[in-house]
Amino acid sequence: MSFNEEFKLLILARYPLIYIPTREEERVEESISQCAREQGNRAVYIWDFVEGYQNNPNHAGFGRRNPLQALEFLEKLPSSAPGIFVLRDFHRFLEDVAISRKLRNLAKVLKSQPKNIVIISHEVAITEELSDVLTVLDFPLPSRVEIKEEVKSLLTATGGYLEEKNLDEIVRSCQGLSIERIRRAIAKAIAIRGQLEPDDVELILEEKRRIIRQTKILEFYPAVEKISDIGGLDNLKEWLLRRGGSFSQRARQYGLPNPRGLLLVGIQGTGKSLTAKAIARNWHLPLLRLDVGRLFGGLVGESESRTRQMIQLSEALAPCILWIDEIDKAFSGFEGKGDSGTTSRVFGTFITWLAEKKSPVFVVATANNIQSLPPEMLRKGRFDEIFFVGLPNQEERRAIFDVHLSRLRSHNLKNYDLERLAYETPDFSGAEIEQALIEAMHIGFSQNRDFTTDDILEAASQIVPLARTAGEQIQFLQDWASSGKARLASKHSSLTSRMQRQLRETES
């Protein structure tokens, strides 16, 4: 259901108080005016703190610098006179006891009158006592059609022209921006070159990165890692490479649905986050990183609003990769949290979106502790696949050493005994191998020489791998994966030394 359809439905159902969180004040007011015309040409009254009521000459300036008077204005009009009363930035006054009481009184009265109060604010800031009488209605970012009309209008105004292919590229780069931001970005491009050109996509993308940073919810993450930077994990890499063209128009024509996402479960330091970055680079898609902790705010409805904003932004920027690191920490034990059910509602909104989303947003979630994840997260339909990323076996450790040393010492890689390094580092994760190499470099640097295989082995001997300090947790994860609840990321899953000993004892 579109915004206009839902808004008209709320008006017809006589919802007295509607709260619209948006930064696109001008655009939402245009939509409200359009809905008012379609609903029997209802009168629209717009108020702000500085100017008061301003679009009706009979009441110009009424309620200026007086929010309580702005509400009392409704009582001065005939009860049968239909009207929509738009209050800009009114969230700032909701904590005032007189304003709060007056709104609740009006909520009772307006149920029997054809009048509606609409609060427009850039954020959700609803007090506890008003949470039951205010209805939050989200206003979406401009659609592809709206953006295309706006770009064409700007091109016409400046006498510019773009071929359809280049126009579509500009429109796609503008998705996720407000109309006002689109106008600014295009105006900037025109100011630099004198006209809008296909190469101006990068200017628009930079504006998009700036906006995403300002939201403080999503982070536009540079993806420089390649699939070849991942040592081992052959099953996972094969699965990813097979889906490399799944977001193309050719895939749509073939009938393929958009890939939904991937849950990577496993031991810390085994390359889960690296994989998320490599997917974006390999598929040539923007990578958005979500810090789930940033979804939670202190005010009533704020967390739910941020969650909807995250979903809205992700879908507007699609096709893209949404990377959620350590999702288990965000939703662990949410049922017992004393936050009035906020975490539960955020989780419910999130997993419902995972199951029902049609947009080409590929979600890559990573988790270290499978026991902390709610069972609903693991249900089929949330993700395309759940992969278990275990400790690398000897062959994979050799590949990891090869990847790192090829980057660090490509000119004399042959001087390092990769087979010996892989053999002498059982139970090491990829992160621990990298740390051993860094420590070996310190050894060599402090002695004014290049580091050697022996330096790496000496550094490794001083590292106690996680497989030994958290053996029981890793054992549980491997048993869980072996029971068929997840697909193995490696063709030959590695066993910890403890498991290897148990296997040898059983065989003997």
pLDDT band at 334 (very low <50, low <70, confident <90, very high): low
Separation between Cα atoms, residue 456 and residue 434, nearest integer Å: 10
Q: What is the mean pLDDT of residues 112-130?
A: 91
Which of 501, 483, 482, 502 is closest to 493 using CA atoms?
A: 482
Per-residue model confidence as pLDDT tens digits over 219-268 = 888 778 888 888 888 899 999 989 888 887 788 889 888 899 999 998 88
**How is residue 256 written in tokens?**
């393929």
Q: Is residue 486 classed exposed, middle or buried when 0-12, 13-18 and 19+ CB atoms within 10 A define those classes?
A: buried
Residue 323: the pLDDT is 93
List where CATH 1.10.8 sits in the chain.
394-426+430-464
The DSSP call for residue 138 is -
Residue that the structure tokens 């010996």 belong to:
420
Radius of gyration of the chain (CA): 29
Beta strand 43-48 with 52-53 is antiparallel
Residue that the structure tokens 């717009």 belong to:
46
pLDDT band at 452 (very low <50, low <70, confident <90, very high): very high
Specify which residues 322 forms β-bridges with.
Answer: 288, 363
List where CATH 3.40.50.300 sits in the chain.
3-136, 221-389
Domain 221-389 has CATH 3.40.50.460: no
Those residues whose C-beta lies under 8 Å from the C-beta of residue 224, and which sit 6 or more positions away, are: 277, 281
Of 93-97, 134-138, 354-358, 438-442, which range is least confident?
354-358
Q: Is the pLDDT of residue 508 over 50?
A: no
Backbone angles phi, psi at 325, to 5 degrees: -85, 135
Q: Is the pLDDT of residue 300 over 70?
A: no
**How is residue 323 written in tokens?**
């990377």
Contact between 341 and 294 under an 8 Å Cβ cutoff? The reply is no
Amino acid present at 212? I
Q: Within a 13 Å sphere around the CA of 221, how many CA atoms are in the beta-carbon half?
A: 25
Per-residue model confidence as pLDDT tens digits over 347-374 = 888 889 998 888 889 999 998 888 888 8
The b/e string for 177-191 (b: 16+ C-beta within 10 A; e otherwise) is bbbebbeebbeebbe
Contact between 359 and 258 under an 8 Å Cβ cutoff? The reply is yes
Sign of CA dihedral 299, 97, 119, 11: positive
Beta strand 83-88 with 115-121 is parallel
Backbone angles phi, psi at 167, to 5 degrees: -65, -45
Give the homologous superfamily in CATH for domain 3-136. P-loop containing nucleotide triphosphate hydrolases (3.40.50.300)
Separation between Cα atoms, residue 184 and residue 288, nearest integer Å: 23
pLDDT band at 26 (very low <50, low <70, confident <90, very high): very high
What percentage of the chain carries pLDDT values higher than 70? 94
Residue that the structure tokens 């006592």 belong to:
129
Report the chain's mean pLDDT, rounded to a whole number: 86
Does residue 198 have a cis peptide bond before it, meaning omega lies within 30 degrees of 0?
no
Residue that the structure tokens 């420590």 belong to:
439
List the end-to-end C-alpha distance of the chain, in Å, as a whole number: 66
What percentage of the chain carries pLDDT values higher than 90? 39
Separation between Cα atoms, residue 410 and residue 435, nearest integer Å: 18
Return the CATH architecture of domain 394-426+430-464. Orthogonal Bundle (1.10)
Separation between Cα atoms, residue 10 and residue 118, nearest integer Å: 11
pLDDT band at 169 (very low <50, low <70, confident <90, very high): confident
Concatenated DSSP letters for 217-255? SEEEE-----GGGS-S-HHHHHHHHHTTTTTSHHHHHHT
Q: What is the mean pLDDT of residues 377-400?
A: 88
Whether the predicted model's global pTM rises above the 0.85 cut: no
